[in-house]
Amino acid sequence: MHTAVSNAKTLDLTVFPELYMYDIKIQSPFDRYPVAHPDCNSEKAMHLYQQMDWERIYREIEETRSSPESPFYYFEINRKNNLGELETLCISGFDAYTIGIGYMRPKMERKGFFVKKDVLNPKFSTQMDGMEIPFALSCLEAFMKGDTNYLEENLHNRRVPLRL
């Protein structure tokens, strides 16, 4: 029995990504504060994301013809990786047909002026704006599977002007 407990503690979640639990926040443009959904499994996380109709939300903002309660509306999913470090994927409304994708995670960076050394940045972030909605779904699926290689290869800092 003791062996089963110790094996469960060292379980590699990259092999069993369906065992991840996620903390999710959803910010509506029509509410002041985000709604928290703690301890979601993969199925619930995907269900919550699929309820986000980005184009409809943007149309509703335009139709109100006033400033939304929160101009930054988003779906944010957090998890701890197999080292216990926090990783976050944030998908946010950008304009009528595109969205922004932010990926925050710990990452080693080479820093220094005269002498370069590797330093852990616990909140390294990548932000891509003006992205297509299907690409965001592929990023969410990779995040939920623990596929950091896909995210590192496909997410690069990219800022584009907002189209009105």
Q: Is the pLDDT at 46 greater than 50, yes or no?
A: yes
Lowest-confidence range among 36-40, 112-116, 147-151, 154-158?
A: 112-116
Whether 124 contacts 110, CB under 8 Å: no
Q: Is the pLDDT at 1 greater than 70, yes or no?
A: no
Amino acid at 4: A
The pLDDT of residue 160? 64
pLDDT tens, residue by residue, 72-123: 899 999 999 888 899 999 999 988 788 999 999 988 778 877 888 888 888 8
| pTM assigned to the model | 0.81
Whether 127 contacts 151, CB under 8 Å: no
pLDDT tens, residue by residue, 5-45: 333 333 344 555 556 799 999 999 888 899 999 999 999 99
The pLDDT of residue 19? 67
